[in-house]
Amino acid sequence: MSERLLKVGLFGIGLEAYWPQFEGLHARLSGYVDTVEKKLARPGVDVVNLGLVDTPEKALEAGHQFRQADVDIIFLYITTYALSSTVLPVVRRAKVPVIILNLQPVAAIDYASFNALGDRTAMTGDWLAHCSACPVPEIANVFNRSGIRFHQVTGVLQGDDGVDDEINDWMEAARVAHIMEHNRLGVMGRYYNGMLDIYSDLTAQASAFGTHIEVIEIDELARLRQDVSENEISACLAEINKDFDVQADCDPKELLRAAKTAVALRKLVEKKSIGSLAYYYESVPGHEYEDIITSVIVGCSMLTAQGVPVAGEYEIKNAQAMKIMDSFGVGGSFTEYYAMDFAQDVILMGHDGPGHTKIAQGRTKVRPLQVYHGKVGSGVSVEMSVQHGPVTLLSVVEVAGKVKLLCAEGHSVEGPILEIGNTNSRYKFSLGARRFVEEWNNEGPAHHCAVGIGHIAAKIEKLGKLLSLEVIKIC
């Protein structure tokens, strides 16, 4: 929900002693730094390019500049040999993750053309323009001895798809880390009684991601719901009919009840500047709060599709996982595995409550339920499957007060699902169903996780590195 841009620091390094010796070298290497800036530039990002840093004095000043600019991440582009003393003051003062770009201008030196230059000074100057790999061991040594975590991208400056993919992944990971740091996670209600695995350490979550956690009273939602107008309900009902496949057996009164609550939920999110939400409540039969809590599923699904992921059963850790997946642009629907189809070697996964309609296979159905299993009341619910194709699962795991990320890549596959008014999908994993569940369980996650479309484990791994969180990839 933050309006702050992601700030990306960029600087190149060189050796001041070279410039008077080799005509044009400084301008050539500065041009390479500008090429990197173009790779980093994108909407919503402010690139702070300090150009070539070539002395310890400039390095100290660069550290101050990055700190004043409040950069979130630094890309260090190595243009040629440079002293480690021109690097350490920058990153030590900035105190943000650093990505070393070891990118030479071409895949290979043209040896024949190089040797034909004749002028050994010109030859040396050209050689130095290709020496990006030279100081990396020195810099890595100093970073390690200084306790500075760093990451590397190695390859060719232009025309190297692998390099471009790596840089894009780091930029995406930095963007998601930025979103999580500025996110406001609402928690409303209480835990599902006795579901010990989902109990969460809010301080650990705030420390790991920077997330602000806003405790919300259901009374506030009730007050907003009381003030919803008939026009607002009608407009929301029209939106529901447009966005969902509302089944003919749905009671119009239940749809109106869901629309009224959906309007109130949206107002609550706007009032509190909430970027994600975890909720659970039961109340008592006939109470106003029971009427609210039994009519939230459609509205929570709408919020989830609009970039405010909502996790049921007060599963705070999974609200975090869903927000991460949604911030990567791949969805992030609340799910758990509940059965296995050994005949087809697939795992059946789904959940009651909200679903992420933007990653559904076809239109999401709204169905009436006479009972919410294990919960109170009745009303309408959503039924969907995740789009067929590659998917990634993510769980935010707490073990002994520490947070780690658990992920797996698989595929959502065609086949019969249970048409019971819940989210339901069939998933295949390279490990096979039996081994997958055992490997996943061994890491100690809560029984909920988030599912998104596409294979993004590499991005999740980079996010973990930026946040200094352990990442476990099952497959």
Please, what's the b/e burial string for 36-65 (b: 16 or more CB within 10 A of its CB; e: otherwise)? bbebbeeeebebbbbbbbbbbebbbbbbeb
175 and 187 inside one domain: no
pLDDT at residue 153 is higher than 90: yes
1 within a domain of the structure (yes/no) = no
pLDDT at 374: 65
Listed residues 127, 146, 180: the one ending a domain = 180
pLDDT at residue 155 is higher than 80: yes
Domain of 460, in residue numbers: 183-473
113 vs 154 pLDDT, higher one: 154
pTM over 0.85: yes
Question: Where residue 2 falls among pLDDT bands split at 50, 70, 90?
Answer: low
pLDDT at residue 350 is higher than 90: no
Residue 221, token pair as written in the block: 């939602």
pLDDT tens for residues 177-189?
999 999 999 999 9
133 and 150 inside one domain: yes
Q: Indicate the number of domains in the chain.
A: 2
Q: DSSP letter for 217, please.
A: -
Q: Are strands 331-341 and 346-351 parallel, antiparallel or unpaired?
A: antiparallel
Average pLDDT on 449-465 reads 97
Average pLDDT on 38-60 reads 96
Longest dimension (CA), the chain: 93
Question: Where residue 353 falls among pLDDT bands split at 50, 70, 90?
Answer: confident
121 and 166 inside one domain: yes
353 and 432 inside one domain: yes
- Cα dihedral 278, 335, 377, 201, rounded to 10, equals -30
First-to-last alpha carbon distance for the chain, in angstroms, is 32
pLDDT tens for residues 94-151?
999 999 999 999 999 988 988 888 888 988 988 899 999 999 999 999 999 999 999 9
Rounded percentage of the chain residues whose pLDDT exceeds 90: 85
pLDDT tens for residues 246-281?
999 999 999 999 999 999 999 999 999 999 999 999
355 touches 333 (CB < 8 A): yes
Residue 178, token pair as written in the block: 């930025």
Listed residues 134, 152, 180: the one ending a domain = 180
User: pLDDT averaged over the chain?
Assistant: 94
pLDDT at residue 165 is higher than 70: yes
156 and 197 inside one domain: no
**What is the CATH number for 243?**
3.20.14
Q: What is the amino acid identity at position 108? A: A
312 within a domain of the structure (yes/no) = yes
pLDDT at residue 1 is higher than 60: no
116 vs 371 pLDDT, higher one: 116
378 and 253 inside one domain: yes
162 and 229 inside one domain: no
pLDDT at residue 223 is higher than 80: yes
pLDDT tens for residues 387-441?
999 999 999 999 988 999 999 999 999 998 888 878 889 999 999 999 999 999 9
300 touches 353 (CB < 8 A): yes
174 and 187 inside one domain: no
Task: Spell out the SS3 assignment of 315-367.
Answer: CHHHHHHHHHHHHCCCEEEEEEEEEEECCCCEEEEEECCCCCHHHECCCCEEE
Q: What is the amino acid identity at position 143? A: F
Listed residues 180, 198, 218: the one ending a domain = 180
321 and 453 inside one domain: yes
d(CA 316, CA 183): 13
pLDDT at 418: 83
Count CA atoms closer than 13 A to 117's CA, side-chain side: 14
**What is the CATH number for 147?**
3.40.50.10940
222 within a domain of the structure (yes/no) = yes
pLDDT at 113: 87
338 within a domain of the structure (yes/no) = yes
253 and 126 inside one domain: no
362 and 393 inside one domain: yes
pLDDT at residue 241 is higher than 70: yes
291 and 211 inside one domain: yes
